[in-house]
Homo-oligomer: A and B are copies of this chain.
Amino acid sequence: MLPRGRPRALGAAALLLLLAVGFFLFGGDLEYGRLRGAASLDGELTRDHNRSACLPLRSLLPKCELLHVAIVCAGYNSSRDVVTLVKSMLFYRKNPLHLHLVTDEVARNILETLFHTWMVPAVRVSFYNTSKFQSQVSWIPNTHYSGLYGLLKLVLPDALPPDLARVIVLDTDVTFASDIAELWAFFAHFSDKQMIGLVENQSNWYLGNLWKNHRPWPALGRGFNTGVILLWLDRLRQAGWEQMWKVTARRLLLTLSSTSLADQDIFNAVIKEHPGLVLLLPCLWNVQLSDHTLAERCYSEASDLKVIHWNSPKKLRVKNKDVEFFRNLHLTFLEYDGNLLRRELFGCPSQPPPQAEQRQRALAHLDEEDACFEFQQQRLTVHRVHLTFLPLDLLPSELHDVTLVAQLSVDRLQMLEALCSHWPGPMSLALYLTDAEAQQFLRFVEASKVLSARSNVAYHVVYREGPLYPVNHLRNVALAQARTSHVFLSDIDFLPAYSLYNYLRASIEQLDLSSQRKTALVVPAFESLHYRLSFPTSKAELLALLDAGSLHTFRYDVWPQGHTPTDYARWREAQAPYQVQWAADYEPYVVVPRECPRYDSRFVGFGWNKVAHIVELDAQEYEFLVLPEAFTIHMPHAPSLDISRFRSSPAYRDCLHALKDEFHQDLSRHYGAAALKYLTALQRSRSST
């Protein structure tokens, strides 16, 4: 029997809970002033706060309420940090989220692509341009490492949409260990006058006794930490927040030289003057792992951490006897497979983005028993992409510059150093990695003098998903990020001639190749079967090695048609560039304008992926010009797993076969009769095998 009165009974129970919880949490004292002074970190009250943090605030939340989170983020490294923070938040969240990201151009480019390809259900992302608001804070002298961007938290009531009433503001260096809805629930505890929720500082900084003549900005006792803030925006706007902090800051700057802790100094100074603005949050919602932190008093008896904050400039390298514990929490999300967070909120159905829905429908139509199921599935996969994973500092693009474009997975990382020594120019590389491998890659670059010295190599992480290597999608990602007029479309297991970069730039200039001219410069390809090759420093040396049998033309034995049209015999003698004609299965390494056709991303795994691109170039009437002094050499390596699979599986070959047919049908559709020669070539090659 289900009595109709039930909802009302539940309401009563909730009210009861509310009272009980409120009492438990705050012992009846909801206002900071009355509650405690500077010594509270040491007192028993703190412990009660810890215990209270285990309490059930979720039940006070309207189910499925949209929660708003604002983060200021600028630059390459912060963008990586934000991803880890967001992963931790998404892992525990049960509510729809709206992220408000205040970013510079760099972070926006990275994060926009990231969220667009991440496709997490029930997450909306809005971007706000920092440059619009910088002038509001740039007058404040500040010595904190967060620079201008830390200060921007002060202008959020102004920068965020006027109809946004409440928001949680987070620093990029925090990690969640619990559901953010529990934090949001504290808004329900704000009195009418309160508009800022904060955790107390867990250091003695603001007590001003750290060293002789240490003069911190004014604060109530230990002050508050602004790594985690609950902002009641519309109240702040009504209260004239902008005036309030500016007046305070200007007055204090008459006697204090600069802010040491950026926005935090100003927040604390304002609060010291208006203590009634603040709701004190339990310490576990911002466990501060700064140098000489007092946080242990907060967490030592807590069974349930909420948010940790790496607020030392040393970040994860901070020294602290429990740092291993906190690092583990953080590493959990650093290495967590972000794809796994693409999960719906069952409790709160949300409208998926249109492309996601379409994709779902297409996926549902695939037949798992089909031999080419994996091909088809991979084709529908949207890979999460993190562009420019590491800082990049390209020189203003020169007119005739060339970017080397290639892609790799983690088992080819050790090629990078050699490649850097052969190619001093810009590179755009797509890396196919898991989240954990991306961290491994980061450590690899940090440990390498050669790699960390380079600022003109862009690394774009495409996150792994599915069984087949999406080779052409990776090439397209790298290609799209090239910033120079021309690109050298290479592969990671090739080392170009030491002189190639300069020679290509000179050739482009001499041949007067504009980015409009449809020319593909062919770089002849060779291979070494020996590990310990002494790399030829000139064409003459190369020819000598070739004659000695130490080098071969690329795949001379297993796939000669791939490079025969380059006409190696003519190249030996050539003194000037010469034109060659397309032929079936030709797949030279070429230099083309950046605006060249994209690769066909239906080709996944191994086989025919470059051939199809060269067909496309030919169909669009690119001329192929072989350069007489250019060469590149394939270095030996163990076969990739995808190749072994291709070689051993007839089904794999059949699927590739079907894919080629599809590709040729599309060619006919686009190019009509002009595409007939490709079909003829395909049929001839099939009848000959």
Interface, chain A (partner B; CB < 8 A): 2, 6, 9-10, 13-14, 16-17, 19-21, 23-24, 27, 43-45, 48, 54-56, 58-59, 63-64, 94-95, 299-305, 322, 324-325, 328-329, 331-332, 335-337, 339-348, 411, 413-415, 417, 434, 436, 443-444, 447, 449, 467, 529-532, 636-641, 644-645, 648
| Contact across chains for A303 and B20 when beta carbons are under 8 A apart | no
Tell me if A303 and B411 are in contact (CB < 8 A).
no
A19-B16, A94-B303, A303-B64 are known contacts. Are A636 and B639 too (CB-CB below 8 A)? no
Chain B residue numbers with a CB within 8 Å of A411 are 411
Which residue of chain B has the shortest Cβ distance to A22 in the bound complex?
B13
Check B17 against A636 for contact (C-beta < 8 Å): no
Given contacts A302-B346, A325-B343, A415-B638, 19 further A-B contacts (CB under 8 A): A9-B27, A10-B24, A13-B20, A16-B20, A24-B59, A54-B56, A56-B56, A58-B304, A94-B303, A301-B346, A301-B347, A303-B345, A305-B346, A324-B343, A414-B639, A414-B641, A436-B436, A529-B532, A637-B638
Q: Which of B6, B305, B414 contacts A27 (CB 8 A)?
A: B6
Residues of B within 8 Å of A27, CB to CB, are: 6, 9
> How far, in whole Å, are A337 and B329 apart by their CA atoms in the complex?
11
**What is the CB-to-nearest-CB distance from A291 to chain B, in angstroms, rounded to a whole number?**
15
Beta-carbon contact of A414 and B638 below 8 Å? yes
Bound-state CA distance A237–B329 (Å) is 42
The answer for the CA separation of A414 and B409 in the assembled complex, in Å, is 15
Measured in the bound complex, the distance between the Cα atoms of B470 and A100 in whole Å is 45
Contact A447–B639 (Cβ < 8 Å): no
Q: Are A303 and B346 in contact (CB under 8 A)?
A: yes
Closest to A324 in B: B343
This chain's copy number in the assembly = 2
For the complex, what is the distance from the CA of A415 to the CA of B637, rounded to whole Å? Answer: 12
Chain B min CB distance to A201 (Å): 20
CB distance from A105 to the nearest CB of B (A): 33
Q: List 17 A-B contacts (CB under 8 A).
A: A10-B48, A13-B24, A54-B58, A54-B59, A56-B56, A64-B303, A303-B348, A322-B344, A324-B343, A328-B339, A332-B336, A413-B641, A414-B641, A414-B644, A447-B645, A449-B648, A529-B529
Question: Is A638 a contact of B638 with CB atoms below 8 Å?
Answer: yes
Residues of B with C-beta under 8 A to A300: 346
Query: CB-CB < 8 A to A339: which residues of B?
Result: 328
Q: How far is the CA of A54 from the CA of B13 in the complex (A)?
A: 14
Residue of B nearest to A321 (CB): B364
Closest CB of chain B to A127's CB: distance in Å? 27
Question: What is the minimal beta-carbon distance from A17 to any residue of chain B, in angstroms?
Answer: 5
| Partner among B19, B58, B59, B434 whose Cβ is within 8 Å of the Cβ of A436 | B434
Which chain B residue has the least Cβ–Cβ distance from A533? B529
A266 → B minimal CB distance (Å): 32
Report the minimum CB–CB distance from A343 to chain B (whole Å).
Answer: 5
Give the residue of B20, B529, B636 whose beta carbon is less than 8 angstroms from that of A20. B20
- Taking CB atoms, residues of chain B closer than 8 Å to A414 are 638-641, 644
> Quick one: which of B56, B95, B341 contacts A59, CB cutoff 8 A?
B56
Most chain B CB neighbours (cut-off 10 Å) among A13, A302, A414, A434: A13
A261–B446 Cα distance when bound, in Å, is 55
> Which residue on B lies nearest to A326, using beta carbons?
B343
A325 contacts which of B94, B346, B644 (Cβ < 8 Å)? B346
**Nearest B residue to A331, CB-CB:** B340
Q: Which residues of B contact A64 (CB under 8 A)?
A: 303
Q: Is the CB of A337 within 8 A of B340?
A: no
Given the complex, which residues of B lie within 8 Å of A55, measured CB to CB? 56, 59
Smallest Cβ distance from A314 to chain B, in angstroms? 12
Cα distance A527–B679 in the bound complex, in angstroms: 46
4 residue pairs, one from A and one from B, having the closest CB atoms: A56-B56, A303-B347, A94-B303, A328-B340
Min C-beta distance of A499 to chain B, whole Å: 25
What residue of chain B has the Cβ atom nearest to residue A363's Cβ?
Answer: B324
- A48 CB → nearest B CB, Å: 8
Contacts of A9 in B (CB 8 A): 23, 27
A94 to B53, CA, bound (A): 13
A347–B303 CA distance with the chains assembled, in angstroms: 4
A300 to B348, CA, bound (A): 9
Complex CA–CA separation, A413 to B16 (angstroms): 60
Give min CB distance, A49 to chain B, whole Å: 12
Whole-angstrom distance between the alpha carbons of A648 and B411 in the complex?
A: 20
The reply to whether B530 and A2 contact each other, CB–CB distance below 8 Å, is no
Query: Taking the nearest CB of chain B, how far is it from the CB of A458, in angstroms?
Result: 22
Q: For the complex, give the distance between the alpha carbons of A44 and B6 in Å.
A: 10
Most chain B CB neighbours (cut-off 10 Å) among A45, A434, A531: A531
Knowing A302-B347, A344-B325, the reply to whether A13 touches B2 (Cβ < 8 A) is no
Q: How far is the CA of A131 from the CA of B652 in the complex (A)?
A: 47
B340 with A299: CB separation less than 8 A? no
The CA of A59 and the CA of B56, in the complex, are separated in Å by 8
Chain B, residue nearest A6 (CB): B27
Q: Which residues from B are CB-within-8-Å of A347?
A: 301-304
Q: Which residues of B contact A13 (CB under 8 A)?
A: 20, 23-24
Docked complex Cα distance between A342 and B331 (Å): 13
Instruction: Name A93's closest neighbour in chain B (CB-CB).
Output: B303
Q: From residue A331, how far is it (CB to closest CB) to chain B in Å?
A: 6
Q: How far is the CA of A572 from the CA of B674 in the complex (A)?
A: 64
Q: Which residues of the partner chain B approach A639 to less than 8 Å between Cβ atoms?
A: 414
Q: Which residue of B lies closest to A558 (CB)?
A: B532
Residue numbers in B under 8 Å from A467 (CB-CB): 443
